[in-house]
A and B are shown apart, each in its own frame.
Chain A
Amino acid sequence: MTTAASSSSPVLPDASGHFGQYGGVFVPETLIFALDQLEAEYRRAQADPAFGKEFDTYLREFVGRPSRLYFAKRLTEKLGGAKIYLKREDLNHTGAHKINNTIGQGLLTLRMGKKRVIAETGAGQHGVATATAAALFGLKCDVYMGAEDIRRQSLNVFRMRLMGANVIEVNSGSKTLKDATNEAMRDWMGSVGHTHYIIGSVVGPHPFPMIVRDFQAMIGREAREQCLEIEGRLPDYVIACVGGGSNAAGMFAGFTDDKPVKLIGVEAGGRGTELGQHAASLGAGKPGVLHGSLSYVLQDDDGQTADVHSISAGLDYPGVGPEHAYWKDTGRVEYASITDSEALEAFQLLARLEGILPALESAHAIAQTAKLAPKLGKDKVIVVNLSGRGDKDCQEVARLIG
């Protein structure tokens, strides 16, 4: 891609799809064909200047990139420490960073000559972004969504249907994101010939963690350039929330080579530290295999996937992308967690002080910032990824704060 020649162009994963010991390909043999086909097409697309140009054009004209790096003046004053900048991914078309990846993978689908896409979705943001790309590119689209999430996110279900997507209710297991992912993989097992599976995060078997990171990497590249332009220097801290970890991977990818820049990923601490009460795979999990790759996962001692909880449907996932596992082990990124109630407070804080409703996912990153900023001097700079807008969460927040 034209934009790939950044100073931080990551060298991982290796040829077999590993980030250190993490990543890899742990899926039924039936899917190997499609993964090989996808990787080959992606390599060809990367080497094709026309692909990079087309991707950039859609990002600019359709998504509205580059997103702004906005100085949150009143939040900074209120917290009384470091200067806080918000990377406004919430201002993208469809309201979150998810669209970057679905445009990229939609274009790959066209290159592979496939006519149908499938996706999993939790909060519905990735489902909406996939339905959007499918409408834009004239592809048939089926989105798998847990019955519990369909109930919690009825507006996003309606948005997907308006754009012509078929939303398929998943009633197996816990009826949430993990089960929707299982069901999408089962569909793909029988449809690999004509269907592309647009995974929504940096999870799954290789090459997905690499492709999704690369299709989100403009977040970090832009933020780095914008910070240099505004502040004349790099930020001291970069903060992003982590569920599967795509917005954080895209943001961090821009800074991993800038050693003095501290990177903080924020997981969902839920309502307690006991297994089942949170979704902090990196903070409380162990290495294990889920959905096709080796990473930190929340499992019992028998390898059965644990129940997870988060106020935010997008972070409510028992695994995390393998590159995050690698970053954790190497110490390049520090991972913290924020509770449901801290995220709710941050949601309201940003609304009152800046006139911005953050997604509950992004509110976790804001909450971490609110803890950190007062401890830092006024000469320090924090860049926070505001990965999505909170309109989708208003009903849930209203229910919770009355």
Chain B
Amino acid sequence: MNPTRAARRTIRQTFDELKERRQIGLVPFIPAGYPDLATTAAVLPALESAGASVIEVGFPFSDPIADGPTIQESFTAALEKKLKITDIFATIAGARPGISLPLVAMVSYSIVYRFGVAKFVAEARSAGFDGLIVPDLPPPEAQRICDTIRTGELDTILMVAPTTASHRRAEIARLSSGFVYYLSVSGITGERDQLPPDLAENVRELKGLTDRPVCVGFGISQPRHVAELTGIADGAIVGSAVVKRMKTHCNDGPAAIARVLGDYTRELLNRADRPDTSSRK
């Protein structure tokens, strides 16, 4: 281990610190291996120094049914280059000493099951991941597997949708050791102009059910979206808008993509933190 690196923070520590500072965490999503693994390695530290709190690393999958065209296309492009799971783990392991924020893997159960749940968890942990989101594994199927994930010292992160019945919300929150991922809309990933009008109320209700942090994803792409969520949610997850910028610059090389994503992260956060420092305290 590299003794000079910054102390690695857990998901819990990260959200505790944000809470103390009354800030919202920004959680960018990047597809691993898109447009190549060198970009993945370059983007992680750039996002951290631009102010990201957690990074979600998507494992490209051939059949991502929860994803809109932007993320789908990035997955297809990464897989066309014969990207393998072991390559992703190796890249993360290589990049880990340079970053201290928590890394969360977003990966289909199709992949985890075939790779072997315990083996996947062990290798993800040893590569440097802190948590696992398996978007196609809701309860009750999730229950047994959440035990395996936590035994392997990864945090579990489950999703609550606007359509989730209230009796399920508490159960999903209970199963989530890292944070609860609240889907802003029923639908697939992708940018949307407006956040739903009842979002704040839904997030507050969910926070009433659990002491876990709640991060909101799907449709978030603009500084004003992040600002809207500040003081309401613990984190804002930004996926398709990040991937769109990666696509625009996909031929410019890892350093250029890292710079673009760093700028975008700062843009999203600067305005988001303004209500904190001025109106809310």
Contacts and interface: CB of A to CB of B under 8 A. Distances in A.
Interface string B102-127: 00000011111111000000000000
A57 B212 CA distance: 54
Contacts of B65: 27-28, 182, 185-186, 189, 291
Interface in A160-182: 172-173, 178-179, 182
A47 B110 CA distance: 35
A32 B183 contact: no
Nearest to B163: A33
B159 interface: yes
Nearest to A292: B136
B110 A29 contact: no
Interface residues of A, number: 37
B63 A182 contact: yes
A26 B161 contact: no
A294 B113 contact: yes
Contacts of B110: 26, 288-290, 299, 303, 305
B253 interface: no
B94 interface: no
B199 to A, nearest CB: 15
Nearest to B83: A302
B18 to A, nearest CB: 25
Nearest to B114: A303
A28 B189 CA distance: 12
B79 A304 contact: yes
B172 A186 contact: no
With a 10 A CB-CB cut-off, give which of A173, A289, A303 has the most chain B CB atoms: A303
The prevalent SS among residues of B at the interface is loop
A229 to B, nearest CB: 44
Nearest to B60: A304
A70 B249 CA distance: 64
B187 A27 contact: no
A192 interface: yes
Contacts of A302: 84-85, 111, 114-115
Contacts of A289: 108-110, 113-114, 136
B168 interface: yes
Nearest to A183: B65
B114 A32 contact: no
Closest 3 CB pairs of A and B: A303-B114, A190-B187, A33-B163
Given A25-B138, A25-B140, A28-B135, 19 more contacts: A28-B136, A30-B161, A30-B162, A32-B138, A34-B163, A182-B64, A186-B188, A189-B65, A189-B186, A189-B187, A288-B110, A289-B108, A289-B113, A291-B63, A294-B113, A301-B114, A302-B111, A304-B61, A305-B110
Interface of A: 16, 24-30, 32-34, 36, 172-173, 178-179, 182, 185-186, 189-190, 192-193, 286-292, 294, 299, 301-305
12 contacts: A25-B140, A27-B138, A28-B161, A29-B163, A32-B138, A173-B76, A289-B113, A292-B136, A301-B115, A302-B84, A302-B85, A304-B111
